[in-house]
Amino acid sequence: MKPALSIIFFTVSSGAGLGLLALIALADLVAPGTLPPHAPWRGALLGLVLLAAGLVSSVLHLANPANAWRSFSRFRTSWLSREAVFATGLFPIAALYIVLLANGGAGASRALLALATVVMAWVVMVCTAMIYASLKPIRQWHTRWTPVNYVLLGHWSGALLLAAIASAYGMASRSLLILAAGLGVASLAAKLAYWYTIGKSAPTTLAHAIGVDQGVRGPGALSVAQARLLDVGHSRGTFLTDEFGFVLARQHATTLRAVALVLGFGLPLLWLVAGGPRWQPALAAAACGIIGLLVERWLFFAEARHTVRLYHGDPRT
Q: What is the DSSP string of 91-112?
A: HHHHHHHHHHHHTT--SHHHHH
Beta bridge partners of 205: 316
Show the low-confidence residues of the chain (pLDDT under 70).
213-225, 235, 276-277
Contacts 24+ apart (CB under 8 A), 55-60: 55/10, 55/14, 55/87, 57/6, 57/7, 57/9, 57/10, 57/13, 58/6, 58/7, 58/10, 58/14, 60/6
pLDDT tens, position by position, 125-163? 999 999 999 999 999 999 999 999 999 999 999 999 999
3-state helix, strand, coil in the chain (%, to 5): 70, 5, 25
pTM exceeds 0.85: yes
Q: What is the pLDDT, as a whole number, of residue 218?
A: 63
Classify residue 3 by its DSSP letter: P
Q: Is 57 exposed, middle or buried (0-12, 13-18, 19+ CB in 10 A)?
A: buried
CA–CA dist 175, 156 (Å, integer)? 15
Classify residue 228 by its DSSP letter: -
- Domains in the chain, start-ordered, CATH in brackets? 5-312 (1.20.1630.10)
